[in-house]
Amino acid sequence: MPLRVELKPGERVIIGTAVIRNGDARTRFFIEGEAPILREKDILNVDTADTPAKRIYLAVQLMYLNGDLSGHNETYFPLVKDFLGAAPSATPIVADVNNHLLTGDFYKALKEVKKLIAFEEEALSNATRG
């Protein structure tokens, strides 16, 4: 089944190795086949990945876009180890992320990392409150 994508005026989306920028009107289109697809709102870059969990997200995002597990092991695992060293109770989430990565399901892994970002947000909001 093709994937339906709807873009607002000027919105961008990554499909495969290209960035597609919408024109002035709302656009709806369908994508068939296998290619990494990321909407603008799901994309983090070096400047917006400004917390430990978001850096892990960026690392997984890079693996997803390259469709390749090998290249980023030297960034991904050090980041994950740092994170778990600081917050070991996030291990179950990380274990799920790892499982998706191992089975080559990068998109699901990326979704799972969002839980890690939520975990971090909660922990930090507790810290600033307490």
Partner 1 sequence: MDITLSSAVRGNVLTLQMIADQQSTIQQRLSTGKRVNSALDDPRNFFQSAALNNRASDLSRRLDGMGLGIKTIEAADKGMKGMTKILEAMAAITKEAADATTPAARETLGTQFNALRTQLMNLAADSGFNGINLLGGDNLTVVFNETGTNTQTVNAVSYATDAAGIAVAVASAAGADDNTNWAAATATNGDTAIAASATLVNTAISNLRTQAATFGTSLTTIRIREEFTKEMINTLKGGADGLVLADQNEEAANLLALNTRQQLSQQALSLASQAEQSILRLFG
Query: Shortest gap between Cβ of 38 and partner 1 (angstroms)?
Result: 9
What distance in Å separates the CA atoms of residue 15 and residue 13, rounded to the nearest whole number?
6
Candidates 22, 60, 61, 110; binder of partner 1 (CB under 8 A) is: 61
Report the alpha-carbon angle 33-15-24, nearest 5: 120
Q: Stretches 3-11, 24-32, 38-46, 110-118: which one binds partner 1 (CB under 8 A)?
A: 38-46
The closest of 61, 119, 60, 111 to 86, measured between CA atoms, is 119
Check binding of 118 to partner 1 (CB under 8 A): no
Check binding of 12 to partner 1 (CB under 8 A): yes
Check binding of 13 to partner 1 (CB under 8 A): no
Question: What is the CB-side half-sphere exposure of residue 108 using CA atoms within 13 A?
Answer: 12
Contact set for partner 1, span 67-96 (CB under 8 A): 69-75, 77-92, 94-95
Measured between alpha carbons, how far is residue 78 from residues 3, 55, 56, 96, 121 in Å?
34, 11, 9, 17, 21
Contact (Cβ atoms closer than 8 angstroms) between residue 13 and residue 38: yes
Binding site for partner 1 (CB under 8 A): 12, 14, 17-19, 40, 43, 45-47, 49-52, 55, 58-59, 61-62, 65-66, 69-75, 77-92, 94-95, 98-99, 101-104, 120, 123-124, 126-127, 130
